[in-house]
Amino acid sequence: MKCTFCDENAQYRDRRREQYVCLKHARLEVVAADEGSDGKALRVRRATPADRDIIAALALYFWDETTVECFDREYDLPHLPAFLIGEGNEIMGLLSYAVEDDALNIVTLNILPQVQGRGGGKALLEAAMAEAQRRSLTRLIVSTTNDDLPALYLYQRFGFRISEVLPGRLVEHHGGEEAGFADIPVRDEIRLEKAVTDVR
């Protein structure tokens, strides 16, 4: 799905006007808490090796590449364990993770704009939390960037706290400032974590 205003892939959905937008053409708007989620809940399941192609396709859609760097490491998304979310047989989003020492590291969490606003992010985070409990891990960790206000919103709403800020980390990585969400320059890596015992 393309952005309403340009030829980039749409990353977000404007729920009021039913427009689909890329990072550059997305803006934030405050809405009342009672707006809630719309539509019926999406289904979450664990990815299998047969899902590698769809995971690679989602990674290319959102990131233009199948590798992601965070916490000073590079991850190959099609080969990471993941939870998938969708409707019927159609996969519409994913949460990929890596287990590191006592932590479950959420390497990526992306949901196609067509099904945003239906509680999919929370459902994927709940699946990750259950997995961390099952493995007796003590923390969920995630890394995002200063511009990614929707991600900072989602994670903090779920109970994550900022644990570390690395100013300028992405400028070093990209070799300059790139435009991120709503054209905000991508500069800093922001790391968050949530204790596994701290279940809401």
Of 13, 14, 20, 22, the one binding Zn ion (CB under 5 A) is 22
Decide whether 61 or 71 has the Cβ nearer to Zn ion: 61
Query: What tokens were used for 163?
Result: 């644990």
* Structural tokens at position 137: 């891990």
For Zn ion, the closer CB: 6 or 199: 6
153 binds Zn ion (CB under 5 A): no
Q: Is 6 one of the binding residues for Zn ion (CB under 5 A)?
A: yes
Q: Contact region for Zn ion (CB under 5 A) — 5-13, 53-61, 99-107, 170-178?
A: 5-13
How many chain residues bind Zn ion (CB under 5 A)? 6
SS3 at position 23: coil
Return the range that interacts with Zn ion (CB under 5 A); candidates 15-23, 27-35, 36-44, 151-159: 15-23
Give the nearest distance from C-beta 123 to Zn ion in angstroms.
Answer: 27
Interatomic CA distance for residues 80 and 142, integer angstroms:
15
**Residue 140: CB minimum distance to Zn ion, A:** 32
Query: Which residues between 24 and 83 bind Zn ion (CB under 5 A)?
Result: 25
Q: Which stretch binds Zn ion (CB under 5 A): 14-22, 35-43, 49-57, 67-75?
A: 14-22
If 0-12 CB within 10 Å is exposed, 13-18 middle and 19+ buried, where does residue 182 land? middle
Token couple for 78: 């099609």
Question: Where on the chain is the footprint of Zn ion (CB under 5 A)?
Answer: 3, 5-6, 8, 22, 25
